[in-house]
Amino acid sequence: MERNGTAGKHGLEGDPDLQFLLAGVTLVKIRSHSWKKNRFFKLQEDCKTFWHETQKPFRRNKTFTIDDIDAVRKGRQSEGLNKHTDPSVEDQCFAIIFKGRKRNLDLMAANEAEARQWVDGVEKIINNMRNLSHQQKSEHWIINCMRKADKNDDNKMTLKELKHFLRHINVEVDDTYAEEIFKKCDTSNSGSLEGDEIRHFYDLLTQREEVDVIYGNCAKTEGQMSARDVLGFLLNEQRQQASMEDALRLIEKYEVDETAKQQNRMTKDGFMMYLQHEDGSILNPAHKEVYQDMSQPLNNYYISSSHNTYLMEDQLKGPSSTEAYIKALMKSCRCVELDCWDGANGEPVIYHGYTLTSKVLFRDVIKAIKDYAFKTSEYPVILSLENHCTVEQQKLMAHYLISILGDALVTKPLGDTMPSNFPSPEELKGKFLIKGKRLNKLDAAFNNNSTIEEDTVSEEDEAADSENGQKAKPKKSKIKLATVLSDIVIYCKSVHFHGFEHAKENQDFYEMSSFKESKAFNLADTSGTAYIHHNMDKLSRIYPAGSRTDSSNYNPVPMWNVGCQIVALNFQTPSKEMHINQGRFLPNGFCGYILKPEFQRSLSSQFNPNTLTKGPWLQRKTFHIMVISAQQLPKLNKDKQKSIVDPLVRIEIFGVPADNARFNPMWNEKFEFDIHVPELAMVRFLVEDYDSTSQNDLIGQYCLPLTSVQNGYRHVPLLTKRGDVICSAGLFVHLMVIDAE
């Protein structure tokens, strides 16, 4: 078994960029204007770990791995580089952005060519890792664990090293069993395993009995699966609409044995490959692309939305940062919030007013948004302005929005006549919409008699609204609004909400209200149907209560149930609510827009999530589920090397109140739920490390809409608390969603 970075190099052998990284180079590490120091960086032999020198005593070497990296950015594309370096060195700079809260690494190379080689090399390895097959990833993971266990680096494994390795990959084996496998594999009787012996040991270890049984039942052709057997499996077990072409396509795609492939057969290895890839995943592969109709009016979609987007942590003293906008936009967030205040030197700034959070320049935020808005999704981004600025600084805000965003900014209605409803996400591709106050009605954009100069509008200041809980009515502060800023508010004019009847008679489609969570939940409980009708031609934005100073989140599901589109959450806070949000927007190409169900769009609908009367929304299903096994769960507590993960699986359903449920299945235990409104139901898998003495630790989670679930034997990938994929880890389940009797 080759153990020197096969996975990292796979297909990159001899690549000059890779050779350059392996040789290493001195770079300038930048922390501030005055802290700029030379540090030697190199890629280690495993082609996965970077080493760099550090001057800190007791820490002679500092490392990070490819898995820790979120992105590499060429140029001065991080806050630190932007602030602490000169534009003249743009081409020499690059930044390594880490997942989670680890601090960016801001670096400068000696020249442009070296910077480019660094960025290209790292990106190649990252793409390479992403494209590894599941089989290779799984082996890569095992090999990595073995390398850690091979204490003396002699590429051989003694029984002691082997036990250490087993603990590392969470395989609980008693000593006699470990010795047994060891003896079986140590054919040379040398007292240690090497080469093929390690491979044999790996095979014995990763044998999956549950898959053997399923394969055994389906392989009816000389011990293998013929194309007809594969088709039978797809139709009967996976309950898919499938043809002989589909069966042959899967053999072609996943079979590893060339002889079997030529005979149109699938071996057990090929079958395992199929189960572990997207065709065997719980998420319907057809939903990984944009598959919904994107030509309907904007208000017919749920829109992935962030609150206090500028914050990296909490709302009292956390840092504000352009990085927070980039992270949210890269997660397909399509509505971001900007709290704008007067700053020094006449420059508007963004921060959480009246608190100790740091400030960031308005223009820097707009630049970052322009650069990153459409990298993950091409559909429109709404900039929600909470404006506390004086007229002079508002004029500067308008100037930055118009000059930086250019043609991408919507500054007048599409078409030549006054619209009566929203354009579609399709028509607004690559565009920015401003949400904020407007001095007059939109039709003023068509008749040139709008001579309004600055005027006052009341600013429902969300911050004030929330400090004193619900009881105290906030003082309606009047602010003067600059005409130039007012004029670029087209489809998202903020107005105060005075009740559904008042809105029906007085509000135009482009006039939208923001609701604090408590108010919105109350309306959803007491007037669900009216709320749904309100959202059939207008937009609603919901935001977390200001009392959530820790930036915690509320459950978005009840808000989607009544058709609210802009359900804003604190993206910076990893939480169950963010997992649900990530799951909601996972299908449809992860584009940040999900078409609402028909019964939330049709004017004749009398749907109310709280009292389920008969109607097109009632499509009762029975959801059968069995959790069969878990694979390669990571060890959380590195200090407790002796401890083995004791996985506890929890399954949760979120939807209309009648469908909410949760349970902890035992392995291979069959469960079933009744689902009344499948189009609004979300399923969440949670794997925790059970601990009888303290709170369980989260190992991984995965959430998706019930309408995107595939039937049959499926693998469920697992994500970290922050939503990053955990390499090779997963659950193996059997599930069926069928019409209820």
For residue 690, give the CATH number of its domain: 2.60.40.150
What the block records as the tokens of 547 is 């009392």
Position 640 confidence tier, pLDDT thresholds 50, 70, 90: low
CA distances from 431 to 224, 427, 438, 549, 634 (A): 54, 9, 19, 32, 41
Q: Please check the confidence at residue 28 and state whether its pLDDT lies above 60.
A: yes
Give the type of residue at 279.
D
Across 538-611, where does the E strand assignment appear? 540-543, 566-569, 593-595
Q: What is the mean pLDDT of residues 678-697?
A: 87
Phi/psi for 478 (5° steps) reads -95, 130
The answer to whether 331 is annotated as binding is no
3-class secondary structure, 49: strand
| pLDDT (0 to 100) of residue 3 | 37
55 is annotated as contributing to ligand binding: yes
Asked if the structure places residue 103 within a domain, the reply is yes
Q: Percentage of the chain surpassing pLDDT 70?
A: 87
Check whether residue 350 and residue 248 sit in a common domain: no
229 and 179 in a common domain: no
Regarding whether 165 and 28 lie in a shared domain, the answer is: no
Give the per-residue pLDDT at 138.
Answer: 62
Give pLDDT, residue 228: 95
Tell me which of 247, 280, 313 is where a domain ends: 280
Of 127-131, 501-505, 522-526, where does mean pLDDT reach its minimum? 127-131
Give catalytic status of residue 624 as yes or no: no
Beta bridge partners of 265: 226
Label residue 337 by pLDDT band (50, 70, 90): very high
d(CA 585, CA 396): 35
User: Taking a C-beta distance cutoff of 8 angstroms, is the pair 157, 150 a contact?
Assistant: yes
In a domain, 292, yes or no: no
pLDDT, tens digit, for every residue of 204-253? 766 778 888 999 999 989 889 999 999 999 999 999 999 999 999 999 99
Residue written as token pair 């069966």: 247
For position 642, what pLDDT does the model report? Answer: 52
Beta strands 566-569 and 301-306, pairing class: parallel
CA distance 250 to 239: 16
Judgement on whether residues 267 and 335 belong to the same structural domain of the protein: no
Residue of higher predicted confidence among 543 and 695: 543
Q: Which of 197-211, 245-259, 338-352, 413-427 is predicted with the least confidence, judged by mean pLDDT?
A: 197-211
Predicted pLDDT at 606: 92
Q: Is 613 within a domain?
A: no
Domain boundary among 600, 630, 665: 600
Least confident of 369-383, 461-475, 506-520: 461-475
36-49 pLDDT, tens digit each: 999 999 998 878 88
Coil/strand/helix, residue 174: coil
Q: Considering all CA atoms of the chain, what is the largest pairwise distance in Å, rounded to the nearest integer?
A: 96
Tokens of 476: 């309606």
- Please provide residue 4's backbone torsions phi and psi, each rounded to the nearest 5 degrees: -105, 80
At 171 the pLDDT is: 60
Alpha carbon distance, N-terminus to C-terminus of the chain: 54
- Give the separation between CA 511 and CA 495, rounded to whole angstroms: 6
CA atoms within 13 A of residue 335's CA, in its CB half-sphere: 28
Q: What pLDDT sits at residue 477?
A: 65
Whether 332 and 462 map to the same domain: the answer is yes
**Tokens representing residue 716 in the block:** 């469920």
Question: 94-120 pLDDT, tens per residue?
Answer: 999 998 778 889 999 999 999 999 999
Q: How far apart are CA 96 and CA 113, in angstroms?
A: 17
Tell the residue number behind the tokens 């007809």, with chain if given.
228
**One domain, residues 100 and 154:** no
Q: How many domains does the chain have?
A: 5
How far is residue 297's CA from residue 423's CA, in Å, rounded to a whole number?
5
**C-alpha radius of gyration, the chain, whole number:** 28
79, exposed or middle or buried, with CB in 10 Å at 0-12, 13-18, 19+? buried
Within-domain flag for 608: no
| Contact of 351 with 320, CB cutoff 8 Å | yes
Asked whether residue 39 is marked as a ligand-binding residue, the answer is yes
Q: For residue 634, give its domain range.
A: 621-739
User: Is 691 assigned to a binding site?
Assistant: yes
- Torsion angle of C-alpha atoms 54, 55, 59, 65, degrees rounded to 10: -10
Q: 307, 388, 676, 715: which one is catalytic? A: 307
For residue 431, the domain's CATH number is 3.20.20.190
Say if residue 559 is in the same domain as residue 641: no
pLDDT of 102 reads: 81
Examine the residue annotation and report whether 399 is marked as an active-site residue of this protein.
Answer: no
pLDDT at 4: 39
> Binding residue per annotation — 184?
no
Across the range 671-679, mean pLDDT stands at: 94
Residue 44 assigned ligand-binding role: yes
Assign 481 a pLDDT band (cuts: 50, 70, 90).
very high
Torsion over CA: 420, 422, 427, 429 (sign): positive
Of 599, 610, 618, the C-alpha closest to 526 is 610
Residue 289 lies in a domain: no
| Integer angstrom CA distances of residue 124 from 26, 51, 547, 563 | 20, 18, 45, 43
| pLDDT tens-digit readout, 435-458 | 999 999 998 877 765 556 566 665
Does residue 518 lie in a domain region? Answer: yes
| 554: nearest Cα among 262, 305, 369, 295 | 305
| Residues 272 and 715 sit within 8 Å (Cβ to Cβ) | no
How far apart, in whole angstroms, are the C-alpha atoms of residue 205 and residue 166?
Answer: 9
Among 114, 131, 148, identify where a domain stops: 131
CATH value at residue 246:
1.10.238.10
Q: What is the mean pLDDT of the chain?
A: 87
| Residue-wise DSSP of 180-241 | HHHHHH-TT-SSEE-THHHHHHHHHHT--HHHHHHHHHH--BTTBEEHHHHHHIIIIIS---
- Specify whether the CB–CB gap between 41 and 50 falls below 8 A: yes
pLDDT of residue 11: 62
Is residue 280 within 8 A of residue 274, CB to CB? The reply is yes
Instruction: Check whether 34 is labelled as a binding-site residue.
Output: yes
State residue 386 phi and psi, 5-degree precision: -110, 105
Residue 46 in any domain: the answer is: yes
Select from 711, 679, 733 the least CA-distant residue to 241: 711
Q: Is 616 inside a domain boundary?
A: no
* Spatial CA neighbour of 495 closest among 474, 513, 475: 513
Which stretch of 99-103, 191-195, 471-475, 680-684 has the lowest confidence by average pLDDT? 471-475
> Which one of 84, 168, 352, 676 is the catalytic residue?
352
Place of tokens 């370096």: 85
Handedness of CA 317, 321, 327, 329 (dihedral sign): positive
Query: Do residue 100 and residue 230 come from a single domain?
Result: no
CA distance 661 to 651: 8
Q: Do 341 and 408 share a structural domain? A: yes
Domain co-membership, 323 together with 424: yes
Are 651 and 705 found together in one domain?
A: yes
- 201 and 216 Cβ atoms separated by less than 8 Å: no
Are 380 and 350 in the same domain? Answer: yes
Whether this prediction's pTM lies above 0.95 is answered by no
